[in-house]
């Protein structure tokens, strides 16, 4: 597909490619062999500029959470590269989004986020719009002759929600969000996402291309090497993957040792590993003696029950979720730059946005808790921007973040002209196939 072709056909192309099932290391189409990807996609200023022109203004992106804009007058500014979108909740409760530009001479209307907004007023010359985007006041209007207020509404952007997530798209002709997400909402419908509330978001600058960041959360191939502690309490082998087009997923079960340990591991070692990597889910900070496993149950059942008991202290009832729902991680990829990690008791979202150079990016994480019900009140999350060395994402994600700069440095070496991907990394491959569609390029470009 060339740049001159109708890019709105992209969604239909992706939707009809079908669901692709396979395990992480099993027969996922061995005949396909390795896939070669030009390394300059991660380092080239020209390629980054092509992305800025053809990708970021045309895709749905996770901007903030419903908690940020839950009440009339709440607002949030989303930025990616040079683009800025203001998301507001108007007086009638409708969610709206506008390009952050005054129609007079382009000044940005607001920055950051907040509450209590009743109008959008330019701080330069005072042009003012209501929260529906209609121009209401122009100082010195006579000087503009026959200016018609109705001809200068704010420039609209698309906005929609999925569960607690708020997405935006600058392309008014793009497919709606439900179409873009494909089978993903139905696949996650068991989780009652409307009960989750965002507690915090953290953003830090990373010395790596945005795709370097996103790739790290799109494959499980690295677990056996980078995460030796996690390997002792996760099945990283029988990990089904699916591709729907713009979206995809993998599943990993916790609470049992990786099949890579041919003779297995003692339950005590699995227990200790779970506490080291995610003991906060049970409210346990340090490894210790494993509890007794009742007859007819497994260690997974014991851990799941401990998790239920822990979250019940804060009023959350997980009795409707079985052991598998609690112990199985559903990791969703949303092209171009988002990963959603979901179990019955946990939800987080990771995003990667381009930085000022091809070798830099913003890495962000949204953290959630499950409330007692979908009717639970909303509260403004704590939003933090921190230096990379202060970016604390938890035990396992910190390991992922620590290798990013080294990967990017390696990608800039003159002899490295391509990277190679296996079928275990099919979600990374899918990212590049989508990139090629949006950018109008071939696999070799």
Q: List the one residue out of 161, 206, 203 whose CA is nearest residue 60.
A: 161
53 shares its domain with 77: no
* 246 and 102 both lie in a single domain: no
pLDDT at 49: 98
Position of tokens 């607002």?
75
Output the CA torsion 323→324→329→333 (10° steps).
-140
For 14-53, write each residue's pLDDT tens digit: 433 433 444 444 445 666 689 999 999 999 999 999 999 9
Provide the token pair at 75. 């607002």
* Percent residues over pLDDT 90 in the chain: 84
Q: How confident is the model at residue 392 (pLDDT cuts 50, 70, 90)?
A: confident
- Quick: pLDDT tens for 284-333: 999 999 999 999 999 999 999 999 999 999 999 999 999 999 999 999 99
Of 173, 205, 224, which closes a domain? 173
What CATH number should be reported for the domain holding residue 34?
3.90.380.10
Give a three-class secondary structure readout of 280-295: HHCCCCCCCCCCCCCC
Same domain, 161 and 189: no
pLDDT in the model for residue 19:
38
Question: Which residue, of 173, 200, 231, is where some domain finishes?
Answer: 173
Task: Please check whether residue 14 lies inside any domain of the structure.
Answer: yes
Coil, helix or strand for 61?
strand
| Pair 161, 276 in one domain | no
Lowest mean pLDDT segment, chosen from 31-40, 133-142, 353-362, 435-444: 31-40
Q: For residue 178, tell me if it sits in a domain.
A: no
User: Picking from 122-136, 353-367, 380-394, which range would have the lowest pLDDT averaged per residue?
Assistant: 380-394
Neighbouring C-beta atoms of residue 358, cutoff 10 Å: 26
| Band (407; pLDDT cuts 50, 70, 90) | very high
The answer to whether residue 326 sits within a structural domain is: yes
User: Does one domain contain both 142 and 252?
Assistant: no
In this structure, are 96 and 197 located in the same domain?
no
Claim to verify: residue 219 and residue 348 sit in the same structural domain: yes
Distance, CA of 93 to CA of 136 (rounded, Å): 20
pLDDT of the residue at 8: 46
Segment 142-154, tens digit of pLDDT: 999 999 999 999 9
The pTM is what?
0.93
Shared domain check, 194 and 144: no
CATH number of the domain bearing residue 95: 2.102.10.10
Residue 377 — pLDDT band, cuts 50, 70, 90? very high
Residues 6+ apart with CB under 8 A from 262: none
| 82 shares a domain with 114 | yes
Same domain, 282 and 348: yes
Rounded to the nearest 10°, the torsion over CA 10, 12, 14, 19 is 170
Asked, for residue 164, whether it belongs to a domain, the answer is yes
Length of the chain: 445
Range of the domain at 71: 61-173
| pLDDT of 173 over the 60 cut | yes
What's the number of domains the chain is made of?
2
DSSP character at residue 146: S
d(CA 24, CA 33): 14
**At a CB cut-off of 8 Å and minimum separation 6, what does 88 contact?**
69, 73, 74, 75, 95, 96, 97, 98, 117, 120, 131
- DSSP category for residue 175: P
């Amino acid at each position: 597909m060339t740049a001159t072709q109708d890019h709105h056909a992209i969604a239909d192309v992706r939707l009809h490619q079908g669901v692709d099932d396979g395990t992480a290391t099993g027969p996922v189409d061995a005949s396909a062999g390795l896939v070669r990807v030009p390394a300059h996609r991660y380092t080239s200023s020209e390629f980054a500029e092509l992305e800025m022109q053809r990708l970021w203004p045309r895709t749905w992106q996770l901007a903030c959470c419903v908690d940020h804009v839950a009440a009339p007058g709440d607002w949030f500014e989303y930025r990616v590269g040079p683009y800025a979108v203001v998301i507001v909740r108007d007086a009638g409760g409708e969610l709206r989004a506008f390009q952050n530009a005054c129609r007079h001479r382009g000044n940005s209307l607001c920055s950051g986020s907040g509450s209590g907004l009743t109008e959008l007023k330019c701080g330069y010359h005072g042009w003012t719009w209501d929260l529906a985007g209609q121009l209401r006041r122009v100082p010195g209007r006579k000087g503009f002759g026959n200016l018609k207020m109705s001809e200068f509404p704010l420039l609209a952007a698309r906005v929609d929600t999925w569960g607690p997530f708020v997405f935006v798209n600058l392309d008014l002709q793009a497919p709606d969000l439900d179409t873009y997400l494909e089978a993903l909402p139905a696949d996650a419908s068991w989780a009652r996402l409307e009960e989750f509330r965002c507690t915090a978001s953290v953003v830090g600058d990373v010395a790596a291309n945005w795709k370097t960041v996103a790739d790290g959360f799109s494959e499980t191939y690295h677990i056996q090497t980078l995460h030796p502690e996690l390997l002792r309490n996760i099945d990283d082998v029988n990990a089904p993957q699916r591709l729907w087009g713009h979206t995809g997923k993998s599943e990993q079960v916790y609470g049992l040792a990786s099949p890579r340990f041919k003779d297995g591991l003692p339950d005590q070692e699995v227990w200790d590993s779970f506490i080291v990597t995610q003991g906060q889910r049970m409210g346990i900070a340090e490894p210790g003696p494993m509890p007794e496993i009742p007859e007819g149950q497994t260690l997974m059942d014991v851990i799941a029950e401990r998790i239920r008991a822990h979250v019940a202290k804060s009023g959350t009832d997980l009795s409707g979720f079985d052991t598998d729902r609690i112990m199985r991680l559903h990791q969703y990829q949303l092209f171009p730059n988002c990963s959603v990690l979901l179990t019955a008791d946990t939800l987080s979202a990771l995003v990667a946005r381009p930085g000022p150079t091809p070798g830099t990016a913003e890495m962000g994480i949204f953290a959630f808790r499950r409330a007692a019900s979908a009717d639970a009140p909303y509260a403004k999350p704590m939003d933090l921007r921190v230096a990379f060395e202060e970016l604390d994402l938890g035990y396992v994600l910190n390991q992922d973040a620590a290798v990013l700069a080294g990967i990017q440095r390696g990608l800039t070496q003159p002899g490295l002209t391509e990277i190679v991907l296996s079928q275990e990394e099919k979600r990374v491959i899918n990212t590049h196939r989508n990139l090629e569609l949006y950018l109008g390029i071939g696999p070799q470009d």
